[in-house]
């Protein structure tokens, strides 16, 4: 039964999970060293590969995406990692590298800007790096870096691992892992996959596994070699969140039924509708032109509306919304700049769902 007090979740993750997916998670439990579990993982694997556009292993971890952020560093950074920072989550990846004791350097652009290929090239030319970390969709700012243009530079440097956080984009935006030469690409279940939080998925290239195999201090829970050994047997090294994997299997089948191209087109349409609404309302987009996210929109509150009130009143209408990424808005406020708020449009959101949300926003904004 639906909870009457439930507000539809329109924060940029976790996002709303449809009832059919929640029901799929409610299957009876099975042990993870059983044929039933191996059949479940075997059913998940080929569809995950399709969504990641890869021939490589895509491994499920019972963790959120941050686990794989740490795994990428511990397993694949020896010499020095170049962290491309354009917001809170890319900065967090740099902090993870530092806290793991790996040599790390960051290039940093102001909030709202994208990482440009020349910035990476300048650093890689020094020969000091063996890995580059790029956040595809910087959820704090709504900027979607252009993986194609960045891949062209990173792939010129043979010994450099290309590591991509696609946490708030993958399956909403097309990420062609193999074509882009990405060595490790990961995402979380609670974003565009429209599942409850608790799982993360990572594709790892063969050369990345080779590198990891020789890497000292790659940790225990996120040891890619151990994960792969078990993956090859349709198992996980430790007890996985079996219920969520039932949900994942169901959600992947739903994605295949929709068709991946149709899914990406739907997301682009949702983005277009949201951008048109932003313009109509007299607000502005926060990201620099040409780098706007496909899965969410970060909006400048040019009219100085009371975002806290907006959140409360949207809540009263049954929508749980975001009032901007906290730390970024604090910084913008300190600089005397306009604040931002974000509208996610990812997962299983339909045009009708988005219309309902935007209408509610409009009614609320008129009263503020």
Ligand X SMILES: Cc1ncc(COP(=O)(O)O)c(C=O)c1O
Residues forming the site for ligand X (CB under 6 A) = 13, 64-66, 89, 135, 137, 139, 165, 167-168, 188
Q: Smallest distance, Å, CB 127 to ligand X?
A: 28
Nearer to ligand X, 98 or 365 (CB): 98
3-class SS string, 138-196: ECCCCEECCHHHHHHHHCCCCCCEEEEECCCCECCECCCCCCCCCCEEEEECCCCCCCC
Q: Smallest distance, Å, CB 35 to ligand X?
A: 30
Nearer to ligand X, 266 or 342 (CB): 342
Q: Smallest distance, Å, CB 162 to ligand X?
A: 16
**Residue 221: exposed, middle, or buried by beta-carbon count in 10 A (0-12, 13-18, 19+)?**
middle
Alpha carbons 17 and 191: distance in angstroms, whole number: 10
Nearer to ligand X, 89 or 283 (CB): 89
Nearer to ligand X, 37 or 186 (CB): 186
Nearer to ligand X, 106 or 305 (CB): 106
Q: Smallest distance, Å, CB 150 to ligand X?
A: 15
Residue 57 token pair: 């292993």
Q: Smallest distance, Å, CB 262 to ligand X?
A: 25
User: Within 13 Å, how many C-alpha atoms sit on residue 160's CB side?
Assistant: 27
Q: How far is CA 8 from CA 2, 3, 236, 318, in A?
A: 11, 11, 33, 6
Q: Smallest distance, Å, CB 140 to ligand X?
A: 7
Nearer to ligand X, 187 or 274 (CB): 187
**Residue 61: exposed, middle, or buried by beta-carbon count in 10 A (0-12, 13-18, 19+)?**
buried
Per-residue DSSP letter, 15: B
Q: Where are the alpha helices (DSSP H) in 180-259?
A: 206-213, 224-231, 242-258
Residues in the chain: 368
């Amino acid at each position: 039964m639906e909870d009457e007090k439930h507000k539809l979740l329109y924060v940029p993750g976790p996002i709303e999970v449809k009832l059919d997916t929640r029901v799929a998670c409610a299957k009876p439990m099975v042990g993870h060293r059983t044929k039933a579990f191996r059949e479940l993982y075997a059913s998940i694997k080929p569809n995950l590969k399709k969504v990641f556009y890869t021939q490589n292993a895509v491994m499920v971890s019972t963790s959120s995406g941050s686990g794989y952020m740490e795994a990428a560093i511990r397993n694949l950074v020896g010499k020095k990692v170049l962290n491309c920072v354009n917001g809170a989550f890319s900065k967090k990846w740099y902090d993870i590298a530092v806290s793991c004791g790996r040599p790390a350097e960051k290039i940093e652009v102001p909030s709202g800007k994208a990482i440009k290929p020349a910035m990476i090239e300048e650093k890689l030319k020094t020969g000091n790096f063996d890995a580059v970390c790029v956040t595809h969709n910087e959820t704090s700012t709504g900027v979607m870096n252009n993986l194609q243009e960045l891949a062209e530079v990173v792939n010129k440097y043979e010994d450099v691992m290309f590591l991509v956080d696609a946490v708030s984009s993958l399956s909403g935006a097309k990420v062609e892992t193999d074509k882009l030469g990405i060595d490790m690409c990961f995402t979380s279940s609670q974003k565009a996959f429209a599942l409850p939080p608790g799982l993360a998925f990572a594709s790892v290239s063969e050369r990345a596994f080779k590198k990891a195999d020789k890497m000292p201090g790659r940790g225990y829970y996120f040891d890619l070699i151990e994960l792969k050994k078990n993956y090859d047997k349709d198992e996980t090294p430790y007890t996985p969140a079996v219920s969520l994997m039932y949900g994942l299997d169901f959600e992947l089948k739903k994605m295949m039924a929709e068709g991946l191209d149709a899914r990406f087109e739907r997301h682009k349409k949702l983005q277009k509708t949201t951008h048109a609404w932003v313009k109509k309302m007299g607000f502005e987009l926060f990201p620099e032109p040409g780098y706007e996210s496909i899965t969410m929109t970060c909006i400048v509150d040019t009219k100085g509306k009371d975002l806290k009130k907006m959140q409360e009143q949207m809540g009263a209408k049954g929508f749980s919304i975001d009032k901007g990424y906290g730390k970024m808005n604090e910084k913008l406020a300190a600089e005397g700049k306009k604040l931002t708020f974000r509208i996610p449009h990812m997962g299983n959101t339909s045009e009708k769902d988005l219309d309902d949300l935007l209408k509610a926003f409009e009614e609320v904004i008129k009263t503020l």
